[in-house]
Chain A
Amino acid sequence: MDFKELLAPYMDEMLRCTRCGFCQAACPTYDALRMESAVARGKIQLLLSVLNGRLDLSPKLSYYVYRCLDCRLCQQTCLSGVRTDEIFEGARRWLAHVDALPAPLRALEERVFTSHNIAGEDNTHRTLWQENMNLEVPAGQPAEAVFFVGCVASLYPMVYSIPQAFVQVLQRAGVTFTTLGGEEWCCGYPLISAGRDVEPLIEHNIRAVEALGARWLITSCPSCYHTWKLKYPPASFQVVHATELLAALIDEGRIVPAHPPALRRAGDTAGPLRVTYHDPCDLGRKSGVYDAPRHVITSLPGVELVEMSTHHALATCCGGGGNLESIDPELSAQIAGRRLAQAQRVKAEVIVTACQQCQRTLGMAARRQRLRMPVMDVAELLLSTLEEPA
């Protein structure tokens, strides 16, 4: 059984692709590979061929479908408005259904369903980022707001600084919150993106948050945000991205950024710090949050926001989107390098983003290139302006 009927509903949408090839100009993966297999036009032709019986399911076909950032710039710029999100989600559901997941994604699935996090670690390790902080981070306490930390920020030390900075800002603003501690499970994003159903994860997480009587679920992870907001069924609480909360706290005067960020090195030029903002795909293009992070950045003293050549809805992905890093880490790094080059071209001194995955991807690429350009979260930059530098 090839279950091609799972693909059939997307036939009309796929036929709307006129093969003009303009998606070549949008696709970061194509930009790096320069091969038709990377681009939406090509993937659509492959899927149509499967439906027409001209091509059989194969590991290579699966690999080509999954070798994608799921950044949706192809859809954003497609002149015929082809819904590549629906087509590729459908294709991945089909491939998952016929057990054609590439090996790295199968391993990821195994980890998430057994350990409830993407790293395959003991789920109680989710709180390790809180150690060495002069601050008690509540877990599992009844509170109005639940901070949903996300797998990457909880389990990858390179980006511990994001939740650390965020909770410090919350504390200064007097926001009472709790985390779910070891009861936080992966939101399911990478598996949904791979084509799997994640009902057990969804049910667990909603129950865990509702049990604490929360009115808000706050997350600094755009993928968690997108998933909670658009993939989960409506719940009794509101889903808020960290940057939306930070912008509101500034507007209400509950935090006052009073000092320029102390990021300059000796010998750097004077004048405001040139900061560029990298729009995470899951937060910007896929969830429509563009202004809140920029509002925070432009509220900071001694900071000048400069936009890269692509931004807002047309922003290029950092290379860490979808499951590409699992499928082809080298390609992911190459794409990150291109995004860094955009930041360099506008002479940014700092790249600020609002996503731990973007931060990891861009940060690692910067390190590889020996590029002295810090990559940090909005919360980190904000925190640096709250007190006089030592």
Chain B
Amino acid sequence: MPAGSSAMIDESILHALREIVGPEHVLTDPEDLLLYAYDASIHSGRPDVVVFPESTEQVSRIMALAHAHRIPVIPRGGGTNLSGGSVASQGGIVLTLSRMTKVREIDIPNQRAVVEAGLYNLALQEILAPYGYLYAPDPASQKVSTLGGNVAENAGGPHCLKYGVTTNHVLGLEVVLYDGRVIQLGGKAFDTPGYDLVGLLVGSEGTLGVVTAVTVRLLHVPEAIKTMLAIFDDLDGASQAVSDIIAAGIVPATLEMMDQLMMRAVEEATHAGYPTDAEAVLIIELDGLKDGMEEIAEQIVEICRRNRARAVQVARSAEERDKLWAGRRGAFGATGRIKPAYLVNDGTVPRTALPQVLRQVREIGQRYGLPIGNVFHAGDGNLHPLILFDPREEGILELVERAGAEIMRICVEAGGTITGEHGIGLEKIHGMPLIASPAAIQAMRWVKEAFDPIDLLNPGKVLPQTSVGVPS
């Protein structure tokens, strides 16, 4: 049975919500609903009410209420989602976890931390730094994206090339189920018996449960870091270098690529020292033990030279390195300097296919007459072509979406997939059949129905609306 419509949120429900979280944490005015109708994607959808719980118990009571009245619930963290995953496309309750920021436990001897879902990724890093530890997943949005959101999207980040993505660092979850029951999945131990429900929940985009707390794995800050900027006059050379570095068996901590269009925006924003006359750069960072690092760096320099790199510069100080990263992490935000809006693809392709796929992306941009910038996790083959546009131009959105769909298709054709870390959300829902067979989508739907049989949690996301049966 489908969840209820907005008409079901009447004064008695609002009263009940106010009882749970306090009247100042229930918003219904048109100004407030508008403020929670968007995220960092091009999608929007107005909720009927926005609530700000501060404890798992409050989340549980809200879910029980929503369940009793069949009201959709859309969990939200920092609102930085890039695929429309946190907008209320069907109305309902936007459940904002921004007040749930407690650090429940830092267990350094066992290299674990338990934190609430609303804590920013960077806030966790800052808490861990004095201990000499870090949490490896580092999405570019880390200073404003929450750990709950990172879990929902299975967020990656530059350093995930070496260390793996969110799912490799989350060991336990506290989850509020669709009917308000609270369950603990996994914990501090490495593996738990039974099905890997932690693995299932990570990346489920808020459709299976509301994550309220996360148990994460901590890593020691590496002994040494070396950050290099390889400068190329042609995109092909840069992407071939990526492929060659990986093929040589080298696993740098990061292997990021940025093209000229993005460098121009980023340089204007951050003055990090990116060469705006070059076609592309690679940001290559090595970390680990000091011993042997120089030799690996030399090997990388040699591979870059062989692929016609104009120069390979080394960051001479932590400040220089931080500046390069500030530029890289801020790249999406800086596109406003070129065009007011962007649609970002997130396709992942085998690294050997990078040169060819990048050429195809460029060709699509030319064919549609749309500027496309590239800044992405090249080492992972995780592209982020940003199609830049001005939404005020007549018919432009349709054009952008068509170009976006073509990019998804070429990624799949190259043996890749349609999203590396930004999620399916609303944006890529039509692309799901490209990567999952009807039977596979059916299997996913069974999972959804097992966790949320009345489609309360973030409805309309991830799974395309196809006629599927219930498992018998």
Report which A residues bind B (CB closer than 8 A).
12, 15-22, 24-25, 34-37, 42, 45-46, 49, 54-56, 58, 60-61, 64, 78-82
Residues of B contacting A49 with CB < 8 Å?
A: 34
Is A78 a contact of B333 with CB atoms below 8 Å? Answer: yes
Interface residues of B in 368-410 (CB under 8 A from A): 390-392
- Over the window 243-272 of chain B, the binary record of Cβ atoms lying under 8 Å from chain A Cβ atoms (1 yes, 0 no) is 000000000000000000000001011100
Is A24 a contact of B78 with CB atoms below 8 Å? Answer: yes
Closest chain-B Cβ to A85's Cβ sits at a distance in Å of: 16
Q: Is B448 at the interface (CB under 8 A from chain A)?
A: no
Nearest-CB residue, chain A, relative to B330: A79
Residues of A contacting B270 with CB < 8 Å?
A: 79
Residues of A contacting B31 with CB < 8 Å?
A: 37, 46, 55, 58, 60-61, 64
Nearest-CB residue, chain B, relative to A37: B35
Among B52, B122, B333, B340, contact of A20 (Cβ-Cβ < 8 Å): B333
Is B120 a contact of A25 with CB atoms below 8 Å? Answer: yes
Is A79 a contact of B79 with CB atoms below 8 Å? Answer: no
Which of A15, A35, A46 has the most CB atoms of chain B within a 10 A radius of its CB? Answer: A35
Residues of A contacting B220 with CB < 8 Å?
A: none
Residues of B contacting A58 with CB < 8 Å?
A: 29-31
Closest chain-A Cβ to B274's Cβ sits at a distance in Å of: 13
Residues of B contacting A79 with CB < 8 Å?
A: 266, 269-270, 330-334, 336
Given contacts A18-B340, A21-B144, A36-B79, contact A80 B34 (CB under 8 A): no
Q: Which of B36-44, B414-422, B437-445, B450-458 contacts A (4 or more CB under 8 A)?
A: B36-44
Interface residues of B in 316-361 (CB under 8 A from A): 330-337, 340-342
Residues of B contacting A20 with CB < 8 Å?
A: 40, 80, 141, 144, 332-333
Closest chain-B Cβ to A98's Cβ sits at a distance in Å of: 16
Nearest-CB residue, chain A, relative to B41: A19
Closest chain-A Cβ to B433's Cβ sits at a distance in Å of: 29
Is A17 a contact of B336 with CB atoms below 8 Å? Answer: yes
Cα(A170)–Cα(B358), bound, Å: 67
Nearest-CB residue, chain B, relative to A64: B31
Q: Is B98 at the interface (CB under 8 A from chain A)?
A: yes
| Chain A contact surface mostly | loop
Closest chain-A Cβ to B126's Cβ sits at a distance in Å of: 9
Q: Is B236 at the interface (CB under 8 A from chain A)?
A: no
Report which B residues bind A (CB closer than 8 A).
27, 29-32, 34-36, 38-40, 52, 78-80, 98-99, 118, 120, 122, 141, 143-144, 266, 268-270, 330-337, 340-342, 390-392
Residues of B contacting A37 with CB < 8 Å?
A: 31-32, 35
Nearest-CB residue, chain A, relative to B82: A20
Is B35 a contact of A18 with CB atoms below 8 Å? Answer: no
Interchain residue pairs A-B with the least CB separation, the first 10: A80-B336, A79-B333, A20-B333, A15-B340, A16-B336, A79-B330, A79-B334, A36-B35, A34-B98, A25-B143
Is A46 a contact of B34 with CB atoms below 8 Å? Answer: yes
Q: List 21 A-B contacts (CB under 8 A).
A: A16-B337, A16-B340, A18-B335, A18-B340, A20-B141, A22-B141, A22-B143, A34-B52, A34-B98, A34-B99, A35-B98, A37-B35, A46-B31, A46-B34, A55-B30, A58-B31, A79-B269, A79-B333, A80-B335, A81-B269, A81-B336
Residues of A contacting B334 with CB < 8 Å?
A: 79-80
Given contacts A15-B340, A79-B270, A80-B269, contact A21 B80 (CB under 8 A): yes
Which of A15, A54, A64 has the most CB atoms of chain B within a 10 A radius of its CB? Answer: A15
Closest chain-A Cβ to B124's Cβ sits at a distance in Å of: 14
Is B35 a contact of A45 with CB atoms below 8 Å? Answer: yes
Which of B266, B268, B330 has the most CB atoms of chain A within a 10 A radius of its CB? Answer: B330
Residues of B contacting A46 with CB < 8 Å?
A: 31, 34-35
**Known contacts A36-B79, A79-B270, A81-B268; can you find 8 more A-B pairs with CB under 8 A?**
A15-B391, A18-B333, A20-B80, A21-B141, A22-B144, A49-B34, A79-B331, A79-B334
Residues of B contacting A81 with CB < 8 Å?
A: 268-269, 336-337
Nearest-CB residue, chain A, relative to B342: A18
Is B269 a contact of A45 with CB atoms below 8 Å? Answer: no
Closest chain-A Cβ to B99's Cβ sits at a distance in Å of: 6
Cα(A36)–Cα(B332), bound, Å: 20
Residues of B contacting A35 with CB < 8 Å?
A: 27, 35, 52, 98
Nearest-CB residue, chain B, relative to A15: B340
Is B36 a contact of A60 with CB atoms below 8 Å? Answer: no
Residues of B contacting A25 with CB < 8 Å?
A: 120, 122, 143-144
Residues of A contacting B52 with CB < 8 Å?
A: 34-35
Closest chain-A Cβ to B313's Cβ sits at a distance in Å of: 23
Closest chain-B Cβ to A290's Cβ sits at a distance in Å of: 17
Is B336 a contact of A21 with CB atoms below 8 Å? Answer: no
Cα(A15)–Cα(B36), bound, Å: 18
Cα(A36)–Cα(B35), bound, Å: 6
Which of A12, A18, A58, A82 has the most CB atoms of chain B within a 10 A radius of its CB? Answer: A18
Cα(A20)–Cα(B52), bound, Å: 21
Residues of B contacting A54 with CB < 8 Å?
A: 34
Cα(A94)–Cα(B269), bound, Å: 29
Is B333 a contact of A22 with CB atoms below 8 Å? Answer: yes
Closest chain-B Cβ to A14's Cβ sits at a distance in Å of: 9
Residues of A contacting B332 with CB < 8 Å?
A: 18, 20, 79
Is A19 a contact of B98 with CB atoms below 8 Å? Answer: no
Closest chain-A Cβ to B404's Cβ sits at a distance in Å of: 16
Which of B120, B341, B391 has the most CB atoms of chain A within a 10 A radius of its CB? Answer: B341
Nearest-CB residue, chain A, relative to B39: A19
Residues of A contacting B99 with CB < 8 Å?
A: 34
Cα(A22)–Cα(B140), bound, Å: 10
Is A18 a contact of B336 with CB atoms below 8 Å? Answer: yes
Closest chain-A Cβ to B271's Cβ sits at a distance in Å of: 12
Residues of A contacting B120 with CB < 8 Å?
A: 25
Residues of B contacting A18 with CB < 8 Å?
A: 40, 332-333, 335-336, 340-342
Closest chain-A Cβ to B40's Cβ sits at a distance in Å of: 5
Residues of A contacting B35 with CB < 8 Å?
A: 35-37, 42, 45-46
Cα(A231)–Cα(B78), bound, Å: 36
Is A55 a contact of B333 with CB atoms below 8 Å? Answer: no
Cα(A176)–Cα(B136), bound, Å: 61
Cα(A155)–Cα(B59), bound, Å: 49
Nearest-CB residue, chain B, relative to A48: B34
